[in-house]
């Protein structure tokens, strides 16, 4: 009579570990303003990742940011993070991961994060400056010619990122009040970062926008690029244009004043408090 080996049976019932090639880390820690739309963002990203055959790990624990843990993910998504969310060691781990070939995707308030970390400002491409009051209705114009209406909070950025990124979509400031960037207002873009990839959209404040088929299609393409499954974003592997003095990438107002750039009026949390 054969004995049943209980430990073996129990191991057989455990879920298989997620393959590193099939995993995305969605990180939504907030140390400033917290967006009520974060659950909608996470749900949308989970659905879109599943369409690629990928699984999502959602966390607000910065302990995920170690070299060994990050090695298990195709890409890291900052979903409306705010404030200083990583310590120095965690920052170093993320930087090494991206520069070594990992992917980054930033959604909305990812541009309102880590103001004291110049490399992160470079990764995202632009910093949040302010936004008009309430939700604004305008049109998104994609570089592929597709245009679609959107109602969302529309960020103004400290600088136009166009010289350093490939702009994928702009918004029409002529259709709403409170825009400060003029006729060229990028809202979605991508850039290579070392051996890695970065994709960002300023849309995503309002939970309802994550149900919009156009927004979801754009996020899906961004996730595919960040995850290394598509080269659509940056077809020609060219370097971005030359940047000004490296200090210009710094996020703090005092750095901006020192190099003569327009300083941010306030952080997103401060703008909500006033």
10 in any annotated domain: no
Residue 10's pLDDT is: 37
Give the pLDDT band of residue 69 (cuts 50, 70, 90): very high
Tokens for 184?
């060229």
DSSP class of residue 109 equals G
Give the pLDDT band of residue 232 (cuts 50, 70, 90): confident
146 in any annotated domain: yes
68 in any annotated domain: yes
CB < 8 Å & 24+ apart, contacts of 246-251:
246/118, 247/118, 249/118, 249/119, 249/121, 249/122, 250/118, 250/121, 251/114, 251/115, 251/116, 251/117, 251/118, 251/120, 251/121, 251/127
11 in any annotated domain: no
Strand order in the sheet with 186-193: 55-59, 23-27, 75-79, 103-107, 196-201, 186-193, 166-171, 136-142, 147-152
pLDDT of residue 243 exceeding 50, the answer is: no
CA dist 6 → 3, 16, 116 (Å): 9, 18, 53
Give the pLDDT band of residue 156 (cuts 50, 70, 90): very high
pLDDT of residue 237 exceeding 80, the answer is: no
In this prediction, residues 203-227 reach a mean pLDDT of 97
1 in any annotated domain: no
Residue 233's pLDDT is: 76
**Conformation bin of residue 225: beta by default, left when phi > 0, alpha when psi is -120 to 50:** alpha
Distance, CA of 272 to CA of 100 (rounded, Å):
37
Tokens for 121?
């400002």
Residue 234's pLDDT is: 56
Residue 221's pLDDT is: 95
Distance, CA of 198 to CA of 223 (rounded, Å):
10
230 in any annotated domain: yes
pLDDT of residue 142 exceeding 70, the answer is: yes
Beta-ladder partners of 190: 166, 199
CA dist 59 → 27, 77, 172, 177, 191 (Å): 5, 10, 34, 36, 25
13 in any annotated domain: no
Distance, CA of 34 to CA of 48 (rounded, Å):
23
**Overall pTM surpassing 0.85 (yes/no):** no
Give the residue numbers spanning the domain of 98.
19-273
pLDDT of residue 238 exceeding 80, the answer is: no
pLDDT of residue 229 exceeding 80, the answer is: yes
* 263 burial type by CB count under 10 A (0-12 exposed, 13-18 middle, 19+ buried): middle
Find tokens 């491409």 and name the residue: 125
Domain count, the chain: 1
Residue 13's pLDDT is: 36
* 22 burial type by CB count under 10 A (0-12 exposed, 13-18 middle, 19+ buried): middle
| Structure-model confidence comparison of residues 132 and 235, the more confident one | 132
Residue 235's pLDDT is: 54
CA–chain centroid gap for 99, Å, is 16
Residues 162-181: pLDDT tens digits? 999 999 999 999 999 999 99
Q: State the CATH number of the domain containing residue 94.
A: 3.40.50.880
User: 268 and 33 in contact (C-beta within 8 Å)?
Assistant: yes
3 in any annotated domain: no
Give the pLDDT band of residue 73 (cuts 50, 70, 90): very high
Residues 32-59: pLDDT tens digits? 999 999 999 999 999 999 999 999 999 9
Distance, CA of 90 to CA of 63 (rounded, Å):
8
pLDDT of residue 236 exceeding 80, the answer is: no
Residue 67's pLDDT is: 98
């Amino acid at each position: 009579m054969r004995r049943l080996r209980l430990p073996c049976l129990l191991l057989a019932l455990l879920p298989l570990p997620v393959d590193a090639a099939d995993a995305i880390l969605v990180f939504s820690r907030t140390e400033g303003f917290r967006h009520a739309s974060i659950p909608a963002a996470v749900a949308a990203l989970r659905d879109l990742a599943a369409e690629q055959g990928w699984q999502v790990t959602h966390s607000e624990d910065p302990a995920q940011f170690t070299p060994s843990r990050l090695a298990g993910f195709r890409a890291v998504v900052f979903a409306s993070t705010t404030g200083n969310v990583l310590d120095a060691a965690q920052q170093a781990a993320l930087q090494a991961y991206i520069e070594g070939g990992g992917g980054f995707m930033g959604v909305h308030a990812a541009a309102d994060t880590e103001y004291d970390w110049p490399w992160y400002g470079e990764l995202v491409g632009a910093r949040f400056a302010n936004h008009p009051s309430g939700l604004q209705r305008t049109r998104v114009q994609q570089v592929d010619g597709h245009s679609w209406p959107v109602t969302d909070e529309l960020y103004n950025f400290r600088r136009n990122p166009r010289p350093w990124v490939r702009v994928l979509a702009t918004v029409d400031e002529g259709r709403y009040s409170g825009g400060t960037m003029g006729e060229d207002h990028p809202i979605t873009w991508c850039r290579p970062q070392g051996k890695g990839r970065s994709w960002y959209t300023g849309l995503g404040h309002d939970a309802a926008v994550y149900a919009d088929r156009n927004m979801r299609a754009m996020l899906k393409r961004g996730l595919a690029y960040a995850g290394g499954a598509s080269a659509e974003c940056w077809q020609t592997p060219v370097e971005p244009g030359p940047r000004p003095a490296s200090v210009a990438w710094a996020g703090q107002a005092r750095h901006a004043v020192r190099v003569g750039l327009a300083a941010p009026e306030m952080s997103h949390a401060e703008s909500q408090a006033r």
